[in-house]
Structure 1
Amino acid sequence: FFGDYPREMREMLSSNLPKFTSEEKRLLQNKADFIGVNHYTAIYAKDCISSPCDIKTYEGNAMVQAVGERDGVAIGRPTAFHGYYDVPEGMELIVRYVNQRYKNTPVYITENG
């Protein structure tokens, strides 16, 4: 959408990221006809740069830990599926975020679990 990796990603992972030519960056800009949102659950993303985390990473690139509770309180009502929570406001929050981040791109709810 924006023709390059986010600034934070470039700062933290620069040597691990593939490099794009100017032409490739141009081709990557604004190319989606729409964004489809599949939403099943919500989790917290714990910052593992400024706080300790016990994470298992792929090639050491993970900088967050996905957790379902904070201060001992679950993010929502647990479901029958381990690690999934019922968080109805999660759909609204993700749709608002996508609309704000990717202005003028149609958004469709393609799945809702």
Structure 2
Amino acid sequence: MEQTHTAHNGTTTATPGAQRRVLVVEDDPTIVDAIAARLRAEGFLVQTAGDGPAAVDTAEAWQPDLLILDIMLPGFDGLEVCRRVQAARPVPVLMLTARDDETDMLVGLGVGADDYMT
């Protein structure tokens, strides 16, 4: 069910983020809470996972529209999460990580990430 907004001129537009599902995968609670709070404020439905195995399980069960993914995770890393999630069902992936080496970025994009932000 998409949320809409009717403008004063009578046109109806979808609310940004309306009913879009975002899975945030990050092991730092402060970072994950900040990202999730901002996304929820914009109208997105948000689930979080703090390690690689939980991320893959949640992505499979919840079918997100976007995956925001850290590389350095317990269990197995974000690169492996990206590989496994993309193998099951293509989903847009934003790598959000402190690792800013060009090689890390190329590997992230190579395993299926759509963008890489440091």
Relative to the length of structure 2, the TM-score reads 0.27
Q: Please tell me whether Structure 1 or Structure 2 has the larger radius of gyration of its CA atoms.
A: 1
Higher RCO (C-alpha 8 Å, min separation 6): 1
More helix by share: 2
Relative to the length of structure 1, the TM-score reads 0.28
